[in-house]
Amino acid sequence: MAQTAQSKRQAQARNDRVVARWIWEAFIRHRMGFLGLAVALMVLEALMLGAFSYLVQPMFDDIFVAGDRGRVYLVALAMAAVFFGRGLARLGHKALIVWLAFSATAALQSMLLAHLTRLDQAFFKRNAPGVLIERVRGDSAALNAVFKSLITGLGRDGSAVIVLFAVALWTDWQWTMVALIGIPLLGLPLLALQKLIRRRSRDARIAAAASSNRLDEAFHGIATLQLTGTEAREVSRFGQIIQRYVRKATRAAIGQAAIPTVMDFAAAIGFALVLIYGGMQIIDGTRTVGQFMSFFTALGLLFDPMRRLVSLTAEWQSVLASLERTHALLQIAPDVSNPAPPHAPVPARDAASVELRAVDFSYGTEPVLRGLSFFAPAGKTTAIVGPSGAGKTTVFSLLTRLADVNAGAVLIGGQDVRKMDLAALRGLFAVVSQDTALFDESIRDNIVMGAEDVTPEALQRALTAAHVDDFLPQLSDGLQTLAGPRGSSLSGGQRQRVAIARALLRDAPILLLDEATSALDAKSEAVVQDALEQLAEGRTTLVIAHRLSTVRRADQIIVMDHGTVVEQGTHETLLAQGGAYARLYALQFKDKAAQANSP
């Protein structure tokens, strides 16, 4: 047991060194010029503190006790210069540190987003959006503390301790030793508190991620909460999560606050002893009041930065608890990566056939595709139908390498997609799905994303073909109208038409349609279906659809069930066979007839 605990401590120490080296290499080393200037200003501030404590002796001995009028102006000007210099130095280093802290944190957040956008879909199935938001925004904020607390503390307070300690020693080295006699007693309590703070801070970050995820789910599902009358239930659930965070964060904060408290105990012992020892010497006449006041001022100023320096150990543990999670996140390698060159050639438009050969795929331990094989000819429309959970959408993920097969192969134009350049492969596809991904940007920006050097003529052709220009006059700012969060400013049909215009503008040789009209009313569906037919012209098109009426004119229909092909043929051929497709079609036709006859 003891050996296991020691191994864990050694592993933790190694990990701490790795994280510290990463912080230095990525965020501090190339900022050393500005940091050096900031630290120089911190040293200047510390020197002003030392000068102030030193000037206390002539103020008492020469002015207040000896009554030397000639030195009043000199000491007063010196004191004013000290405070003036200290104020300018503090302003300068605080401004530099704040800028460095925010710029480094922004760089880390950009680094995290860039890394996360390269990870595959399996990662995002395991990690909820709210948790990832907290990892990017919350955990990375600890880097701010590296500059604003740790570096500032080491630079400003470290310099202050050295300068004030020197003044105290210069005044009386014996008094200094007596004053610091309680410092060695801090060792064991500080070690225990550091371990507690590290553990509590890590727990608090995990609890914060859980609260962010709950908020994300509540805001995305707000309509469902309101329609089902479960607002109070959701608030209660969030309250339980946030209370857990409060408990853990409070424990971490108490641990951090305990460190300066321990320091105060040591200071209390030192002050009491030096007051007794020094006071007796002043009464005996071997030391002056000015000497004692200068020493006492230096000592009083010394314990404050010492308290902050000792507190930095707690701050460092809290920073490590967050940044080790951030560093670990950056070490996650995507399951899907770009292959090493030379890359397989990308097929021309007229050769962009799609083939799956004996493909197996699973999410974790749950199999989704089992030996799936089919061929979709170039320039033709292939529909993929089947019950929910048959694996239809997974096929699209494998084609675009949002995930990779466990066994078998996916080929485009006869080339294995795993051997193609990843960006070139994904450039072969235009996708229109049921859940249209629009961003809170202008409609124009949503349409042209992913397309390069878009001419006004090409944009207008896409707008016309996708029937976007049918509703543009109704919008306040036309193409510059903001789509709203997730396209919320547009109707379902309008969002689909924007997505189709985006796909038209990409002019990709392969078109993937995933339930593109399933959420639309009859009028919107007719308009969108017309736009989709124009989009599919001359392209290899794969269509996923539950409504079989939308795929009747497909060149071939693939019927899937439990991750494999059970039937394949045209609409008429499959109906004549009387198999799975015919049963699905009859069931849908029966449902439509029942709806038509219902009052």
* 185-214 pLDDT, tens digit each: 555 565 666 666 666 767 776 777 777 777
pLDDT at 27: 87
Whether residue 342 is predicted with pLDDT greater than 80 in this model: the reply is: yes
pTM of the model: 0.71
* CB-based contacts of 497, cutoff 8 Å, min separation 6: 466, 467, 468, 470, 471, 527, 528, 531
Lowest mean pLDDT across 78-82, 83-87, 186-190, 397-401: 186-190
Distant-in-sequence contacts of 416-421, Cβ < 8 A, 24+ apart: 416/344, 418/339, 419/339, 419/343, 419/344, 420/339, 420/343, 420/344, 420/346, 421/338, 421/339, 421/341, 421/343, 421/346
| pLDDT confidence band for 290 (50 / 70 / 90) | low
- Residue scoring higher pLDDT (242 or 59): 242
Q: Write out the E strands in 366-507.
A: 366-376, 381-385, 407-412, 415-416, 429-433
pLDDT at 355: 92
Cα–Cα distance, 501 to 432 (Å, whole number): 10
pLDDT at 599: 45
Fold of 429-507: Rossmann fold (3.40.50)
Strand, helix or coil at 471?
coil
Considering the chain, tell me which residue range(s) the CATH 1.20.1560.10 domain(s) occupy: 2-330
pLDDT at 593: 42
**The most confident of 206-215, 273-282, 392-401, by mean pLDDT:** 392-401
pLDDT at 194: 62
For tokens 């709203």, what's the residue? 484
Whether residue 487 is predicted with pLDDT greater than 60 in this model: the reply is: yes
- Residue scoring higher pLDDT (491 or 60): 491
Whether the Cβ atoms of residue 430 and residue 512 lie closer than 8 Å to each other = yes
Whether residue 596 is predicted with pLDDT greater than 60 in this model: the reply is: no
Cα–Cα distance, 77 to 370 (Å, whole number): 87
Lowest mean pLDDT across 64-68, 252-256, 470-474, 570-574: 64-68
Whether the Cβ atoms of residue 132 and residue 116 lie closer than 8 Å to each other = yes
| pLDDT confidence band for 266 (50 / 70 / 90) | low
- Residue scoring higher pLDDT (568 or 196): 568
* CB-based contacts of 129, cutoff 8 Å, min separation 6: 213, 216
- Residue scoring higher pLDDT (5 or 305): 305
Whether residue 460 is predicted with pLDDT greater than 60 in this model: the reply is: yes
- Residue scoring higher pLDDT (274 or 564): 564
Lowest mean pLDDT across 29-43, 60-74, 135-149, 426-440: 60-74
Whether residue 252 is predicted with pLDDT greater than 60 in this model: the reply is: yes
- Residue scoring higher pLDDT (506 or 270): 506
Whether residue 108 is predicted with pLDDT greater than 70 in this model: the reply is: yes
- Residue scoring higher pLDDT (65 or 246): 246
| pLDDT confidence band for 315 (50 / 70 / 90) | confident
Cα–Cα distance, 291 to 462 (Å, whole number): 86
Whether residue 47 is predicted with pLDDT greater than 90 in this model: the reply is: no
Whether residue 75 is predicted with pLDDT greater than 60 in this model: the reply is: yes
- Residue scoring higher pLDDT (530 or 447): 447
The share of the chain scoring above pLDDT 90, in percent, equals 8
CA dist 143 → 71, 102, 108, 201, 205 (Å): 49, 9, 8, 14, 14
For the record, the structure tokens of 538 come out as 């001359």
Q: Write out the E strands in 323-456.
A: 354-363, 366-376, 381-385, 407-412, 415-416, 429-433
Whether the Cβ atoms of residue 79 and residue 53 lie closer than 8 Å to each other = no
| pLDDT confidence band for 182 (50 / 70 / 90) | low
Whether residue 523 is predicted with pLDDT greater than 70 in this model: the reply is: no
pLDDT at 413: 92
* Average of per-residue pLDDT values in the chain: 78
Could you tell me which CATH class the domain 2-330 is placed in? mainly alpha
Cα–Cα distance, 273 to 151 (Å, whole number): 33
* CB-based contacts of 145, cutoff 8 Å, min separation 6: 315, 318, 319
Architecture of domain 349-426+510-520+536-599: 3-Layer(aba) Sandwich (3.40)
H or E element that contains 189: helix 187-220
Considering the chain, tell me which residue range(s) the CATH 3.40.50.300 domain(s) occupy: 349-426+510-520+536-599, 429-507
The dihedral sign for the CA sequence 382, 388, 394, 400: positive
H or E element that contains 324: helix 289-330
Once rounded to an integer, what is the mean pLDDT over residues 32-55?
A: 81
| pLDDT confidence band for 598 (50 / 70 / 90) | very low
Whether residue 410 is predicted with pLDDT greater than 90 in this model: the reply is: yes
Once rounded to an integer, what is the mean pLDDT over residues 96-116?
A: 87
